[in-house]
Amino acid sequence: METQVNEMKWDKDQPLIELKGITKVYGTGQAALEALKGIDLAIYEGDFVAVMGPSGCGKSTCMNLLGCLDTPTSGQYLFRGIDIGGLSRNQRALLRRHYLGFIFQGFNLLSRTSALENVELPLVYRGMHHTERDRIAHEALNAVGLSGWEHHSPGELSGGQQQRVAIARAIATSPTVLLADEPTGNLDSIRSIEIMELLTSLNRERGITIMMVTHEPDMARYASRTVRFHDGLIASDSRENEVD
């Protein structure tokens, strides 16, 4: 998968990610639930997209599909022009490992390991040598403002610091796309602003494409584009000014 994506002649004027007529149905018969009803969505390299909508509208289902954590019932998902539906489970895992980064509302850190070891974890899965893992993890923690906190466990860190560790872990693999699910949902307003400013910096300075689910309009304002879901469909898709 890695070689296939790297060698694909991909025009950067074309969408990095494209969904065409995507549906997702859970269950069968009378118990069937149509979570997505045929959505079309194009994400370009460098986009910072806030995904919004009420609970049950399909936004989380869409993010799971984008992250290759689930597969659509019908339709086509293209990543750099490659049809993800034609990949095996192992190939989709490689796509996640090499091109996608994930940030969760609940941080998802290992409680008995240090910040440094948490950040190193995806690099371990890549089979990277310890010396190189250590260097990259230190650089990632420094990038999120946690230099000097490498050997602290999550229990010794504030909520904002824990989310910074989670972001460092996500960017340690140099992802093309960062998928963030309510990244400020467990934080107070001051820490939330800090995290959003950090994400904005990663988008502007590193060119990381960001898809962020949020219920908070104040956080969505940091994105340059807002996609709103309603009843399994995209209700609106607008580009807005970023926060200064």
Question: Angle at the Cα of 202 (from 235 to 10), degrees rounded to 5?
Answer: 70
CA distance 218 to 192: 10
CA nearest to 116, candidates 141, 89, 86, 82: 141
Task: Check: CB of residue 95 under 8 Å from CB of residue 79.
Answer: yes
pLDDT of the residue at 41: 97
30 DSSP assignment:
G
At residue 60 the predicted structure's pLDDT band, cuts being 50, 70 and 90, is very high
Task: Check: CB of residue 37 under 8 Å from CB of residue 24.
Answer: no
CA nearest to 50, candidates 190, 154, 183: 183
Q: What are the DSSP calls for 44-103, one per residue?
A: -TT-EEEEE--TTSSHHHHHHHHTTSS--SEEEEEETTEEGGGS-HHHHHHHHHHHEEEE
Structural domains for the chain: 46-64+89-239 (3.40.50.300)
> Which whole number is the average pLDDT over 6-22?
79
> Which whole number is the average pLDDT over 49-62?
94
Residue type at position 4: Q
pLDDT of the residue at 177: 97
pLDDT in tens, 114-152: 999 999 999 998 889 999 999 999 999 999 999 999 999
CA distance 58 to 37: 9
pLDDT in tens, 195-215: 999 999 999 999 999 999 999
Mean pLDDT of the chain: 91
pLDDT of the residue at 125: 84
Q: 91 is written with which tokens?
A: 């190939």
CA distance 59 to 35: 9
pLDDT of the residue at 77: 97
At residue 46 the predicted structure's pLDDT band, cuts being 50, 70 and 90, is very high
pLDDT over 70 (residue 9) = no
Query: Does residue 36 sit in helix, strand or coil?
Result: strand
Q: 234 is written with which tokens?
A: 């995209």
pLDDT over 70 (residue 31) = yes
How many helices, marked H, and strands, marked E, lie in the chain?
A: 8, 10
pLDDT in tens, 156-184: 999 999 999 999 999 999 999 999 999 99
CA distance 160 to 186: 9
> Which whole number is the average pLDDT over 224-232?
96
What distance, in Å, lies between the first and last C-alpha atoms of the chain?
39
